Amino acid sequence: MTARPNRTSDPPGARSVPKAAPTSHATPNPAQLPVAEGRPEGYFPTGPLPGLAHDEDAPVYVISIAAQLAGMHPQTLRSYDRLGLVTPGRTPGRGRRYSARDVALLREVQRLSQEEGVNLEGIRQILRLGAQVMALQAQVRQLADELAHARADAERRVAEAHASHRRDLVPIERGAVVIWRPLPRR
């Protein structure tokens, strides 16, 4: 195994990272994971990725590794960052760090561009609308949870009200009520 030489884009003091030999238990490429049933084609994963031991939003990949995982050139990733399509996290030294979600998003941008023929402005709109849909879905889930809690609370209060009713009173039909008045004493 040979180490890759430091490039001018690497921060000073950065160590060379040797290329790892492929293994059978390697971390899966997020963009090549199977699409779950019921999801539309082109859906990029937003939940936990199988086989990954870290948070999918944790910025862990340097630009060269993220580019390799996404099947792109690092300069393309820099362009997408400048255009605001995929904005990675930054280190204190301003180096880019990509998360698994960013890599999946890069693959989606590549698919839209190459397979669907969508231009970069169209991709920006698709990503914006996708993020908006995800935010609205999260809001719907939150409101559904609040509604379920409110219903459970209302049912609990109704049950408490029924439990507090006096048991010595018996309901009767209105038409069957007879009023007895004693006759005056003579």
Model pLDDT, residue 133:
97
Q: Do 102 and 135 sit in the same domain of this protein?
A: no
Tell me if 148 is assigned to some domain.
yes
Number of domains in the chain: 2
Q: Do 111 and 129 sit in the same domain of this protein?
A: no
Q: What is the pLDDT of residues 29-44, one digit of tens each?
A: 444 444 444 444 444 4
Model pLDDT, residue 20:
41
Inter-residue contact 33 to 49 (CB < 8 Å): yes
Tell me if 75 is assigned to some domain.
yes
The CA-CA-CA angle for residues 147, 150, 156, to 5°, reads 140
Model pLDDT, residue 92:
92
Mean pLDDT of the region 66-85: 93
Q: What is the pLDDT of residues 151-176, one digit of tens each?
A: 999 999 999 988 887 776 666 666 66
Q: Do 154 and 95 sit in the same domain of this protein?
A: no
Q: Which domain holds residue 112?
A: 51-118
Model pLDDT, residue 184:
86
Tell me if 8 is assigned to some domain.
no
Say yes or no to pLDDT of 81 above 60.
Answer: yes
Model pLDDT, residue 144:
98
Model pLDDT, residue 165:
77
Mean pLDDT of the region 111-122: 93
Q: Do 75 and 95 sit in the same domain of this protein?
A: yes
